[in-house]
Structure formats: structure tokens, C-alpha cells
Amino acid sequence: MSYSPCDDIEPQRTALHAELEVELSVVQARILLSFLLKEIAPTVYNAGVTAVETFLRDRWLISSAYMSTNLLIGLRAHQCAVSKRLPK
């Protein structure tokens, strides 16, 4: 048997009553929850995915720029060390 968020509706009914002072029947609460999950959840989910994607892309760009800079500094230091050891 699969679980659906509509199976245990009592916490949502209690929250609606506490926040909005609205008393819904179990059927009304299930209809409302189904509507929210179907119509609103995908938009919120997609916004979250977009925000995470942007965050990770920015972090990757910062990290790759930092690594590139450190790599160039390391190569220059290595070149200086090698050139000092070479006979002139």
C-alpha cells in the first residue's frame, strides 16, 4: 500500500484551524491538500531547484577561479625554483 500525504490529514486540519480559524471536514481538507500538491507544489519545487542550481553554479565558478589562480601561482613558483637551479 502506498502512502499519500492525504492519508493523514489531521495535522493539516489542525493547522488550518489554528492559523485561519477555519474548520474543514476530512473531505474538504483532502480536496484542499490535493489541490495544493497538484497546482502549487511543482512551482515551489521548481523555484527551489533553480535556486540550488544557481547557488551551486556560483560556488563552482568561485571554486574553479580559486583553483585556477592557485594553480598559476604554483606553476610560477615552480618555474622560479627550476630556473634558479638551471646552469646559466
What are the sequence ranges of the domains in the chain?
A: 10-85
In terms of C-beta density within 10 A (0-12 exposed, 13-18 middle, 19 or more buried), how is residue 29 classed?
buried
d(CA 39, CA 37): 6
pLDDT given at position 59: 81
The reported pTM is 0.48
Residues in the chain: 88
Q: What is the mean pLDDT for each group of 10 consecutive residues in the chain (88 residues)?
A: 67 88 89 90 91 86 68 60 54
Task: For residue 2, give the DSSP letter.
Answer: -
pLDDT given at position 58: 83
pLDDT given at position 60: 81
Residue 49 backbone phi and psi in degrees, to 5: -65, -40
45's CB contacts (< 8 A; 6+ apart) are none
